[in-house]
């Protein structure tokens, strides 16, 4: 399943579907950005579009570990939260300009990811999910406890960024559409870098580790170090998503760091298709539109999200986008 959209030199048959896939894979960054650029015009409303953009990036960062390295982390909310709090604190308490504030959020997330990763990669296989979950709960309680800085239970409020002042121009973030495209610039840059990473020799090592950790070691790769680097990059990408989310929402709810939020990354990646490049965005859109729609019908929407997730695990583990890609590939060969 991994071939089609993981490497630009994609597999796929010689038929029309196969050619289409190869073309799509070669231009995956451009296509992703084109879809995202048009997205606000089809999304139910703009705030939801921004949510999907930001959480899509979160799911993408998470999926570097889950889909590409084969490591299931249940602690990524710590990085989303660290990015959000880092940015929020820099703006609220430090009075920083949004750009360095975003950088501060990413740095905080990266540092926390380095510490968590250093501890978590000492465990293998299924332990990894448990350890990351437990360590992220520790980060959650730490931020919960630091009330003067983080606002504790009430969350960090007052992250007001009405406009992004760039010297020559000032972009009014009050306008939801402007906000969407400003955030898209960050997400787009991250997606481009991310795609480069996956296509790089390092990306190849990640896939090798996912496929067969022992064989990767026998080939001469330092598996532990590679995993740690992947973990930190993944944390940094999720930290950027958190930083953008803080500016988008003007508040960081403590739930941003909660275990349930880590679970949402898992859900989005799996719903969309963890072995595909675009899958996490599809998953984020599906999850958030579903949640948005269900929430208007019932306050117990989590019952349905849980059941739908179970159904995907049982019957469609390759996810929505993964299935689309697989069908195209079959049609092509």
Kindly state the smallest distance separating residue 307's Cβ from other proteins, in Å.
Answer: 6
φ, ψ at 170 (rounded to 5°): -125, 120
- Is residue 63 within a helix (H) or strand (E), and if so which, with residue range? helix 46-63
Kindly state the smallest distance separating residue 279's Cβ from other proteins, in Å.
Answer: 15
Provide the 3-class DSSP secondary structure of residue 170.
Answer: strand
Kindly state the smallest distance separating residue 321's Cβ from other proteins, in Å.
Answer: 17
Q: Residue 180 or residue 231: which is nearer to other proteins going by CB?
A: 231
Q: Residue 137 or residue 284: which is nearer to other proteins going by CB?
A: 137
Q: Residue 95 or residue 201: which is nearer to other proteins going by CB?
A: 201
Q: Residue 145 or residue 160: which is nearer to other proteins going by CB?
A: 145
Q: Residue 164 or residue 289: which is nearer to other proteins going by CB?
A: 289
Q: Residue 104 or residue 205: which is nearer to other proteins going by CB?
A: 205
Kindly state the smallest distance separating residue 287's Cβ from other proteins, in Å.
Answer: 12
67 closest CA partner among 5, 123, 122: 5
> If phi over 0 gives left and psi between -120 and 50 gives alpha, with beta otherwise, what is residue 158?
left
Q: Residue 251 or residue 270: which is nearer to other proteins going by CB?
A: 270
Residues 138-151, buried b or exposed e (16+ Cβ, 10 A)?
Answer: ebbeebeeeeeebb
Contact of 291 with 18, CB cutoff 8 Å:
no
Q: Residue 179 or residue 258: which is nearer to other proteins going by CB?
A: 258
The encoded tokens of residue 12 equal 């796929």
Beta-carbon contacts of residue 200 (< 8 Å; ≥ 6 apart): none
Kindly state the smallest distance separating residue 41's Cβ from other proteins, in Å.
Answer: 32
**Distances, alpha carbon 104 to alpha carbons 53, 88, 101, in Å:** 21, 9, 5
Kindly state the smallest distance separating residue 169's Cβ from other proteins, in Å.
Answer: 30
The encoded tokens of residue 65 equal 């570990």
| 163-165 and 170-172 beta bridge pairing | antiparallel
CA angle 147, 149, 151 (to 5 degrees): 45
Kindly state the smallest distance separating residue 281's Cβ from other proteins, in Å.
Answer: 20
Q: Residue 65 or residue 282: which is nearer to other proteins going by CB?
A: 65
Kindly state the smallest distance separating residue 304's Cβ from other proteins, in Å.
Answer: 8
Contact of 229 with 65, CB cutoff 8 Å:
no
The encoded tokens of residue 330 equal 């079959």
Kindly state the smallest distance separating residue 123's Cβ from other proteins, in Å.
Answer: 6
Beta-carbon contacts of residue 171 (< 8 Å; ≥ 6 apart): 163, 164, 178, 182
């Amino acid at each position: 399943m991994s071939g089609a959209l993981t490497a630009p030199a994609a597999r796929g048959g010689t038929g029309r579907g196969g050619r289409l896939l190869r073309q799509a894979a070669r231009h995956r960054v451009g296509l992703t950005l084109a879809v995202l650029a048009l997205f606000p015009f089809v999304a139910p409303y703009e705030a939801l579009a921004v949510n999907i953009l930001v959480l899509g990036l979160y799911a993408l960062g998470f999926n570097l570990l889950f889909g590409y390295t084969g490591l299931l982390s249940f602690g990524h909310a710590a990085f989303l939260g660290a990015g959000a709090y880092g940015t929020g604190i820099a703006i609220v308490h430090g009075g920083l300009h949004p750009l360095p504030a975003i950088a501060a959020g990413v740095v905080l997330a990266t540092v926390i990811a380095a510490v968590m990763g250093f501890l978590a990669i000492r465990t293998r296989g299924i332990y990894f999910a448990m350890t990351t979950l437990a360590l992220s709960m520790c980060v959650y309680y730490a931020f919960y406890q630091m009330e003067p800085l983080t606002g504790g239970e009430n969350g960090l409020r007052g992250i007001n960024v009405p406009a992004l002042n760039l010297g020559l121009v000032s972009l009014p973030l009050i306008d939801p559409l402007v906000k969407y495209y400003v955030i898209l610039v960050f997400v787009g840059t991250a997606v481009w870098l991310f795609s480069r990473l996956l296509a790089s020799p390092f990306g190849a090592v990640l896939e090798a580790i996912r496929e067969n950790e022992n064989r990767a070691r026998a080939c001469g790769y330092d598996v532990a170090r590679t995993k740690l680097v992947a973990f930190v990059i993944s944390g940094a990408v999720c930290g950027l998503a958190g930083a953008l989310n803080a500016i988008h929402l003007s508040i960081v709810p403590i739930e941003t760091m909660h275990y349930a939020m880590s679970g949402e990354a898992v859900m989005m990646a799996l719903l969309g298709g963890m072995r595909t490049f675009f899958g996490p965005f599809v998953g984020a859109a599906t999850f958030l539109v579903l949640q948005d729609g269900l929430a208007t019908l019932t306050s117990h929407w989590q019952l349905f999200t849980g059941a739908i997730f179970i159904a995907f695990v049982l019957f469609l583990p390759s996810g929505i986008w993964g299935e689309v890609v697989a069908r195209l590939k079959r049609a092509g060969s």
